[in-house]
Amino acid sequence: MKINRIDHVGVIVHDLSAAKDFFLDIGLEVLGEAEVEGEWAERIIGLNDVRETVVMLGMPNGEATLELIKFHSPSVEKGIQHPTLHTHIAFAVEDIEEIVAKLKKRGTELFGEIQNYENTYKLCYARGPEGIMIEFAEKIK
C-alpha cells in the first residue's frame, strides 16, 4: 500500500460560474470540464440520481489541482448541498483494494464502493477523521 501524492482538493460550490471565474482571475487554468452522472457516479458516492458538473483547475506550474463541483441532483434543500457531500481531499494511491480493506478493518465508513472510471482510474470515497471526505484514486495501467 502506498500513497503517492495529494492528487487534488475537491470543493462543492453553489455558483460554479462565479467560483470558476474567481480562480481563473487569480491565475489558475482550466484543465477540463465535464458533466458527471450515471450508475458509476452513484455507486462511488453512495447516492441515487447523481448529476453534477465538474471543472478541474490547475496551477500554471502544474503542482496542484482544484476540482470545483456543482451538484444538480440529488436535490438541494434551502440552498445547501447534500449533507453527506462536502470538500474532499483526493490521494493518488497504489493498490486501492488494500487501502480499502485496511480502512474497513478500522471501521471506516465508505460512501459507496470502488468504481472503475472509464478504465483510467479506480476511485473510492471514505469518511476520514472529523468527517473529512477522502477520495482514493488508483491509475489503471
- Within a 10 A sphere around the Cβ of 6, how many other Cβ atoms? 12
Q: How many residues does the structure list for the chain?
A: 141
Task: For residues 12 and 82, give the distance between their C-alpha atoms in angstroms, rounded to a whole number.
Answer: 10
**Identity at 23, one-letter amino acid code:** F
CATH number belonging to domain 2-75+84-139: 3.10.180.10
pLDDT tens string for the chain (141 positions)? 788 888 899 888 888 999 899 899 888 999 999 999 888 888 887 878 888 999 999 988 888 899 998 888 876 554 445 555 667 888 889 999 999 998 899 888 888 899 998 999 999 988 876 677 888 999 998
pTM given for the model? 0.72
Torsion angles phi and psi, residue 79, rounded to 5? 75, 10
- Within a 10 A sphere around the Cβ of 137, how many other Cβ atoms? 18
